[in-house]
Amino acid sequence: MYENIALVGATGAVGTIVRQLLEERNFPFKSMKFIASKRSAGTKIMFKGDEYTVVELEPDAFQGVDLIIASTPDEVAAELVPWAKTAGAVVVDESGFHRMLADVPLVVPEVNPEAAKNHKGIIASPNCSTTQMVVAMKPIHDAARIKRVVVSTYQATSGAGLAGNVDLEEGTKAAVNGEDYQYKAFSHPIAFNLIPQIGSQKHKGYTSEEMKMVWETQKIFEDETIQVCPTAIRVPVANCHSESILVETEQKLTAQQARALFEAQDGITVVDDLDNGIYPMPNNSSGSDEVYIGRIREDISSTNGIAFWCVSDNLRKGAATNAVQIAELLIAQSTE
């Protein structure tokens, strides 16, 4: 049973949302500990009516802890996991450091909850753009088996952290006023612009962000034959990632069948009324834990293709919510 909980990165952007979710979802715990870097140690946090003092991240911070949700950069995750294991705690890791290790389950609870049972002290949460896509893929794959995915992502500046949103806001103000602005998070202006590169060159002209979607999707579905062709684009939107997705299946599905499958899937909300201009957009999806799907249609260029539009809050379902759901899953599985 997991009763003594710790949140690492408690004062960061995603960590702050995790705290809110733990409170909103009435997450069960006997003791709660909030941990952050030395810079944030000593900060006071209110949680469920009580005041907590943020503890510095160090080996002794995990004593007496059963379950850890960690929202940190890769290098910090690599350091803290051995400390957590020594303390006997299980880590739900939001970083990219452990995702593709063979002995670490990569879990999205709506998609592959059983994989969590195979953990050896670490469970990884996928990249935000992968998470919403595999939730959308799940019902289609179960019904007709997906062979190939072509996806273009339109990723919000919040995916680049606080500096990304500062660049969007301040860069836009400067552009409107005809002033110069020195971008910090992006190598090109994001105001009134699209940047068709997220991450470094990784494989055959694909970027690291794009290859995450390939490798993580195959790992989550335990099927390396699923082909994924991704293009990741940074757009001048503050929050919520959008994706244009085309899936090709072994068996034919109509648009009506696909819609019914989406509607029956936990974690998905269908918003699809083209005649009345109703479909998911970042402006009406932010602050939600759902994956929103619209523009559902049959691919007119192939026999067994379904095309759709997918929007989700990258800071919530793409990061914080998925990690909390994994922690809830662990607790549920421990009582089975």
Please identify which of the residues 128, 141, 240, 310 carries the catalytic annotation: 128
203 is catalytic: no
Length of the chain, please?
336
How does DSSP classify residue 310? E
User: Which tokens hold the place of 113?
Assistant: 């909850």
Q: What is the number of alpha carbons within 13 Å of residue 182 lying toward its C-beta?
A: 0
**Residues sharing a CB contact under 8 Å with residue 256, sequence separation 6 or more, in sequence order:** none
- Phi, psi dihedral angles at 263 (to 5 degrees): -65, -30
141 is catalytic: no
Is residue 278 within 8 Å of 272, Cβ to Cβ?
yes
Is residue 172 within 8 Å of 236, Cβ to Cβ?
yes
**Distance between CA 143 and CA 12 in Å, rounded?**
39
Is residue 212 within 8 Å of 127, Cβ to Cβ?
yes
Distances (CA, A) of 31 to 10, 22, 38: 15, 13, 22
Is residue 235 within 8 Å of 189, Cβ to Cβ?
no
Please identify which of the residues 98, 119, 241, 310 carries the catalytic annotation: 241
254 three-state secondary structure: coil
Order across the sheet with 31-36: list the strands: 55-56, 31-36, 4-8, 67-70, 90-93, 122-124
How does DSSP classify residue 251? S
Is residue 83 within 8 Å of 8, Cβ to Cβ?
no
Q: Which sequence positions are flagged as catalytic?
A: 128, 241
